[in-house]
Amino acid sequence: MFGQRYLYCGIESVAETMPAIVEAGLGIELVFDDTTNIWPQIRWENLLEDVDLIHEAGIAAAVQISLQMLMSGLEFARAVRSPHLVMHSGYVPQYSPKARAKWMEQFCRSVEPLLERAADLEVRIALENTYERDTSLFAEIFERIPNPALGMCLDTGHATCFSQVDSVEWPRRFAERISHVHCSDNDGQDDLHWGLGKGGVKFAELLHPLRSVGAFATVTFEVGPGDALSARDYFDEVIRTL
């Protein structure tokens, strides 16, 4: 039901985080927070150093990047042999209905060519739930974009602290589109990225719908390096009970 597991890591921290990742037997999910490490093109020299570190360590890799950088990010995802690339929609819940409709049109137009390129590179795009208050935005996106190259990244922490509907509604509604899962814990109020089991995230309930539909998803532990081993063990225990 669940495939490769990763620890998330900012692109600027690969070398210092690598020992913890290797010790835990995990892969690495590379996070790009802005354009600094993509442009100008000369920075590919720096990125290729990270590619060498990952390949030498013999670990799996995934890539998380913002929409504006996806075209360049897709090339990098392919370079590190990532099966997917995680993106945020950039949607703001405070949009008025008119602004929401305009945003939806622009988003769908922008994503289509990216999905075409992703298919060429055999990299699936996984859209991550972030600040959405309910599942309606994702439901409309998936209805308008049936392309299988667009999957979903279920963020368990975001579903718990930002969603105004029961967090379990996310996997219940989109289990068949979920190809990747971000796991971290929190207090239900803020996205704290605590170690698994340290807060109120309902991991067993959130993961069970994926088993029900026979989904196969990779997993990233969005916790600090010091919590990597305990997150791995906690997750293994949870899925044994499903």
Q: How confident is the model at residue 171 (pLDDT cuts 50, 70, 90)?
A: very high
Give the number of C-alpha atoms closer than 13 A to the C-alpha of residue 130, restricted to the C-beta side: 12
pLDDT tens sequence across 179-235 = 999 999 999 999 999 999 999 999 999 999 999 899 899 999 999 999 999 999 999
Residue 69, pLDDT score: 67
Residue 40, pLDDT score: 47
Residue 30, pLDDT score: 86
For residue 41, give its domain range: 2-241
| Secondary structure, 3-state, the chain | CEEEEEEEEEHHHHHHHHHHHHHHCCEEEEECCCCCCCCCHHHHHHHHHHHHHHHHHCCCEEEECCHHHHHHHHHHHHHCCCCEEEEECCCCCCCCHHHHHHHHHHHHHHHHHHHHHHHHHCCEEEEECCCCCCCHHHHHHHHHCCCCCEEEEEEHHHHHHCCCCCCCHHHHHHCCCEEEEEECECCCCCCCCECCCCCCCCHHHHHHHHHHCCCCEEEEECCCHHHHHHHHHHHHHHHHHC
Residue in 104, 88, 191, 171 with CA at minimum distance from that of residue 143: 104
Amino acid at 130: T
Mean pLDDT of all residues in the chain? 89
Give the Cα separation of 116 and 150 in Å (integer): 10
Percent above pLDDT 90 for the chain: 66
Burial of 53 (0-12, 13-18, 19+ CB in 10 A): middle
Burial of 226 (0-12, 13-18, 19+ CB in 10 A): exposed
- In degrees and rounded to multiples of 5, residue 199 shows phi and psi of -140, -145
Percent above pLDDT 70 for the chain: 90
CATH of residue 110's domain is: 3.20.20.150
Amino acid at 96: S
Count: domains in the chain: 1
Q: What is the pTM of this model?
A: 0.86
pLDDT tens sequence across 24-72 = 999 999 887 665 655 544 455 667 688 788 888 998 876 665 555 677 7
